[in-house]
Amino acid sequence: MNRFSRKMNKSQLIRSMLPILIILLALNKEVYGFSQLAWTFSLSKRTTNYDETRSKSSRRRMSLSMKTTPSPFPYPVRISVMGGGNFGIALATVCARNGIPTTLLVRSEEVAEEINTKHKHPRYMSDIKLPHNIRATSDPATALSDATYIIHTVPCQYSRDFLNDIKEHIPNGTPILSASKGIETSSLGFMNDILHETLGDEREYAFLSGPSFAREICEGVATAVVIASDDLMLASDLAGLLSDDSFRVFTTKDVIGVEIGGAVKNVIALAAGMCEGLGLGTNAMSGLVTRGCGEMRRLGLTFGAKPSTIAGLSGVGDTFGTCFGPLSRNRKFGYRLGQGETMDEIRASTTEVAEGVDTSIALVNLIKTKCRGYRLDLKYPILFGVASILNGTQTPKQGLEGLMTMPFMMMESFDERY
């Protein structure tokens, strides 16, 4: 052993230990059930004669490639997705692509039958072929009774009634991942509040948000989102299950930050759409969205969110996608308002839900209830302005003109002191 040690220099010793370290790291990842790193290790030896002089000693070239893959769980995983709208279809597709048996809970058995036989939804993204391992049903007992994880995608304003109707079929302790965003108009609660009040505190909850259009997810376009949970191990497990080569999931413990970003961005998108509909140009829209992100940050700090969360995927990232993306329902709704259509006309012509409409009213009521200070309308002029337009107090043109004629302020941010 001593003679062998003298022959090996330090770098050779490190290289000889590297494969062992890689194997130990991979085993450690697998044991704890987190999303593992799939390590591929290859060695190519330039020379094979160990007895050559040190100047011609063997060289080894190592290539290490990593990709995120779901780690094998020590039990069979089955996922149920509640809600057969665009985003429910998208997340069901992500799960099914990763080889996970996935059940989609939809409203009617006719829709379920079409998904099961033709592998497409008859109303939402009907041109997209769904994976064959997605099974749909309208029966909550069938969909939920054996689920390892449940994903909730029912819009915020309908979530409380829906959850109360089906909660008896949800197994005790089954974790819930919510992808719904917004603030309930009746209670002024976020989805975290609604889930705890309807399904109790004896299970763990997680919340998914980020710039993620359903169609692009189904088409396999590169997408990055974040999952927030008080239980970081749950967030990590869910990230491992959902992540693949085109869908990357990050994690955080900042639940309120993710929820505020997901709610406020839809309201900002309504304002951006109005701006575009009025033909005010890129300068105006860029300034509006930037100032809207400032109001999001201010509200987030009031509720204890981390600034890094507001600046991340679920805050600024999702705002950019929703304000400038052609697939954004809220931007389209705002655009049509800016073009002169009424809310009733817009709602009558589409089956899609623009969550920002109801959230805008709830958001202003929440600010008035929870936030203190002088002239809240000056601290949140865009959020208050959008609500007044939706309430019919002013037109989109009057509202956006009002932003330019606000009382003059020198400081760009109320948060600055000097």
pLDDT tens, 373-394? 778 888 999 999 999 999 999 9
Containing 139, the helix (H) or strand (E) segment is: none
Confidence of residue 64 (pLDDT cuts 50, 70, 90): very low
3-class DSSP state of 220: coil
Q: What whole-number percentage of the chain has pLDDT above 90?
A: 71
Confidence of residue 76 (pLDDT cuts 50, 70, 90): confident
Task: Write the CB contacts of 381 (distance below 8 Å, at least 6 apart in sequence).
Answer: 291, 295, 402, 403, 406
**Identity at 233, one-letter amino acid code:** M
Catalytically annotated residues? 265
Task: Write the CB contacts of 345 (distance below 8 Å, at least 6 apart in sequence).
Answer: 336
| pLDDT at residue 353 in the model | 75
Confidence of residue 74 (pLDDT cuts 50, 70, 90): low
Confidence of residue 159 (pLDDT cuts 50, 70, 90): very high
| pLDDT at residue 403 in the model | 80
User: CB burial class (10 A; 0-12, 13-18, 19+) of residue 373?
Assistant: exposed
The H-assigned helical ranges of 210-328 are 214-218, 232-242, 255-277, 281-302, 307-310, 318-324
Cβ(323)–Cβ(331) below 8 Å: yes
Q: Which residues pair with 151 in a beta bridge?
A: 81, 177
Residue 363 CA to residue 385 CA, distance in Å, equals 12
pLDDT at 48 over 90: no
The mean predicted confidence, pLDDT, of the chain is 84
Distance of CA 316 to the CA centre of its chain: 12
| pLDDT at residue 11 in the model | 52
| pLDDT tens per residue, range 299-336 | 999 999 999 999 999 999 999 999 999 899 999 999 99
pLDDT at 34 over 60: no
pLDDT at 418 over 90: no
Q: Of 64, 5, 66, whose CA–CA distance to 37 is shortest? A: 66
Predicted TM-score of the model (pTM): 0.80
Task: Write the CB contacts of 18 (distance below 8 Å, at least 6 apart in sequence).
Answer: 62
Confidence of residue 351 (pLDDT cuts 50, 70, 90): confident
